[in-house]
Amino acid sequence: MKPVKVGICGLGTVGGGTFNVLKRNAEEIARRAGRGIEVAQIAARSSNPQCDATGTPITDDVFAVADNPEIDIVIELIGGYTVARELVMRAIDNGKHVVTANKALIAVHGNEIFARASEKGVIVAFEASVAGGIPIIKALREGLAGNRINWLAGIINGTGNFILTEMREKGRAFEDVLAEAQALGYAEADPTFDVEGIDAAHKLTILASIAFGIPLQFDKAYTEGITRLTTADVGYAEALGYRIKHLGVARSTAVGIELRVHPTLIPADRLIANVNGVMNAVMVNGDAVGSTLYYGAGAGMEPTASAVVADLVDVTRALTTDPTNRVPHLAFQAEQLSDHPVLPIGECESAYYLRIQAKDHPGVLAQLASILSERGINIESIMQKEAEEHDGLVPVILLTHRVKEQRIDDAIAAFEALDDVVGSVVRIRVEQLN
């Protein structure tokens, strides 16, 4: 069979990696796919020193690739929402299949993109948009297709995990590690997307849709970053037998879907608590399979290219498939998506780590405990540290049982109204992830 012709739009890190992997492993890929995959055109504003594309036609106009009649599959690797969206729509309208690594685009405009793709009978594949080279989209959409998914929880931002790992292992402060991550190139000059959890929320939105068969609803995801985490809390968590990880959590409950990104205490003996540095991991719990975990590099030139190329092989195979019988974009048939609502954070349920800075007076602990008990919140454990020398305040750390978040909000407000409590209460969610 003659080779499939693909066009790479964007020759940055992932684009360069994709070109290199397609070239280096061309023979192996053809032995798998049954036909070659040939880069017929590249659109790039500048060349990439890590990638020798001599001999491949290059344009600076991405739309030229979308309009190129020779090309079967357009690979969108330019990022962002604006030009990328136009490019993908143009490719679809031209009857071309699309492979993209763009989580922001899929999380925000995916519903519209998939609707148009279905109309035109083409595939938009997006394995590379979540967790780099880990084939987590495929695991959820196909590998676990027999399951009703109960929940998933993932370390899906490598920069954030690198920062938390350094804070724990070396006792370094957040700002300090962030500056190093920027110097190493792990974090962007503007690190907001990473450290405020927006990047993770994009990915979680995608994972939740394909896990539960709901439309993409990025605007409903609760997002809390790691910027306010202190080494003190990292240390107290450790003393209690926990690690703090920045997790995306999605859970299906009787009343709706929880969709939340936040720092989370996880028991130290869980595998996912031991995923360190820039690595990613996603746990998925299904009613038949129980808990599973998928681990690997969540970003980088070739790990992400690995996912792009896997999608290219899939699409290559699907070129001769009955379009009504493909794996649906969001795992479930488009007309059978669920309208189960995404819950506001106040309606979500978890256990909590609360740190209260209290004056060293007798009776404080009793006041705190009675505020919780009046609200039906059970205490799992209490740890009271020595008074700190410089201010004479006593850190009191409480772990609660699982409870609806709004009840904890209420308890925190009551804590902060006490004369013996100083400043804001620190609240970090706790998940057992059995």
Piece of the chain touching a second copy by CB under 8 A; list 30-38, 51-59, 227-235, 390-398:
30-38
Give which of 227, 236, 315 is closest to 263, Cα–Cα: 227
Give which of 345, 381, 369 is closest to 418, Cα–Cα: 369
Cβ closest to a second copy, residue 306 vs residue 400: 306
Cβ closest to a second copy, residue 45 vs residue 170: 170
Piece of the chain touching a second copy by CB under 8 A; list 53-61, 63-71, 107-115, 132-140:
132-140
User: What whole-number distance in Å separates Cα of residue 262 and Cα of residue 350?
Assistant: 12
Cβ closest to a second copy, residue 221 vs residue 283: 283
Give which of 246, 280, 74 is closest to 158, Cα–Cα: 280
Give which of 356, 425, 407, 411 is closest to 384, Cα–Cα: 356
Is 148 a binding residue for a second copy by CB under 8 A? The answer is yes
Is 332 a binding residue for a second copy by CB under 8 A? The answer is yes
Cβ closest to a second copy, residue 5 vs residue 407: 5
Backbone region of residue 391 per phi and psi (left: phi > 0; alpha: psi in -120 to 50; beta: other values): alpha
Binds a second copy by CB under 8 A, chosen from 303, 377, 398, 421: 303
Is 26 a binding residue for a second copy by CB under 8 A? The answer is no
256 touches 342 (CB < 8 A): yes
Least Å distance between CB 318 and a second copy?
8
User: Coil, helix or strand for 396?
Assistant: strand
Cβ closest to a second copy, residue 25 vs residue 182: 25
Q: Is 203 marked active-site?
A: yes
Is 288 a binding residue for a second copy by CB under 8 A? The answer is yes
**79 contact partners, CB below 8 Å, separation of at least 6:** 10, 12, 102, 104
CA distances from 130 to 155, 285, 314 (A): 11, 18, 17
Binds a second copy by CB under 8 A, chosen from 17, 197, 225, 248: 17
Single out the catalytic residue among 96, 138, 203, 245: 203
Both tokens of 306, joined, read 């690995």
Least Å distance between CB 330 and a second copy?
10
33 touches 99 (CB < 8 A): no
Piece of the chain touching a second copy by CB under 8 A; list 56-64, 178-186, 314-322, 365-373:
314-322
User: What whole-number distance in Å separates Cα of residue 148 and Cα of residue 287?
Assistant: 6
Size of the site for a second copy (CB under 8 A): 68
Catalytic sites, residue numbers: 203
What are the residues binding a second copy (CB under 8 A)? 17, 21-22, 24-25, 28-29, 31-34, 127, 132-135, 138-139, 142-148, 213, 269, 271, 274-275, 286-297, 300, 302-303, 305-310, 312-314, 317, 319-322, 324-328, 331-333, 336
